[in-house]
Chains A and B, each alone.
Chain A
Amino acid sequence: QQQVKQSPQSLIVQKGGISIINCAYENTAFDYFPWYQQFPGKGPALLIAIRPDVSEKKEGRFTISFNKSAKQFSLHIMDSQPGDSATYFCAAATLETNAGKSTFGDGTTLTVKP
């Protein structure tokens, strides 16, 4: 049972454009939604995370939008740069009981063309 569905699988964006990656979850017990960035040969690194008590969180060029009723959340990368080319994973966790256990989406390979 895939509890976190991520789309698109791959994304090509021009430099300066906006990259948008979407995720949907099923388990309403999830209360922590992080996004990770992974470069080849490296482990995932936390980009930004959100709790369900807010609808949006922004950190620099990265913004998470969260829709609790639709059980969806998305990552927006503004002014995308070639250095942003990487694989992005959304994830979900239930902090109280499963803090160290995250359920990941399948990943989105982002390519930013110069």
Chain B
Amino acid sequence: KAGVTQTPRYLIKTRGQQVTLSCSPISGHRSVSWYQQTPGQGLQFLFEYFSETQRNKGNFPGRFSGRQFSNSRSEMNVSTLELGDSALYLCASTLTGHNEQFFGPGTRLTVL
């Protein structure tokens, strides 16, 4: 069974640009959560989607947004990039009725 996949794995952008990251959950998993990982702030919850609806949201500015498609694949978008947005963005999927989150390898975003 394939794990959670994230594309692209690495991304370099400049300040002011926008970026879209993609996450494909494990087959059959309908919940997808996104986290930002930085050395200074650790793992911070961004948002969670379930059946194409945002179910939970963390404390991030509106520049961070996401969506989920009918096949459970999810995208997150960051607009007007800032230097502080440089981080590893992780997504995790969960099977309905279960607790375990399965993480992907992450997308390393560098903002110059």
Binding site for B on A (CB under 8 A): 32, 34, 36, 41-46, 49, 89, 91, 93, 95, 98-107
Residue interface bits B79-112, CB-to-A below 8 A is 1, else 0? 0000000000010101000011111111000000
Inter-chain contact B106/A43, CB cutoff 8 Å: yes
Inter-chain contact B99/A98, CB cutoff 8 Å: no
Q: Is the interface of A mostly helix, strand, loop or mixed?
A: mixed
- Given known A99-B94, A100-B50, A100-B55, contact A43–B99 (CB-CB < 8 A): no
Inter-chain contact A100/B105, CB cutoff 8 Å: no
Question: How long is the Cα–Cα vector from A49 to B44 in the complex, in angstroms?
Answer: 19
Q: Is the interface of B mostly helix, strand, loop or mixed?
A: strand
Q: How many residues of B contact A (CB 8 A)?
A: 25
Q: Which residues of A contact B104 (CB under 8 A)?
A: 43
Which of A41, A89, A95, A101 contacts B33 (CB under 8 A)? A101
B20 within 8 A of A: no
Inter-chain contact B99/A99, CB cutoff 8 Å: yes
Question: How long is the Cα–Cα vector from A107 to B88 in the complex, in angstroms?
Answer: 15
Binding site for A on B (CB under 8 A): 4, 31-33, 35, 42-45, 48, 50, 55-56, 58, 90, 92, 94, 99-106
- Given known A100-B56, A100-B94, contact A44–B33 (CB-CB < 8 A): no
Inter-chain contact A43/B4, CB cutoff 8 Å: yes
Inter-chain contact A32/B99, CB cutoff 8 Å: yes
Which of B35, B42, B102 contacts A106 (CB under 8 A)? B42
Nearest A residue (CB) for B40? A106
Question: How long is the Cα–Cα vector from A99 to B55 in the complex, in angstroms?
Answer: 10
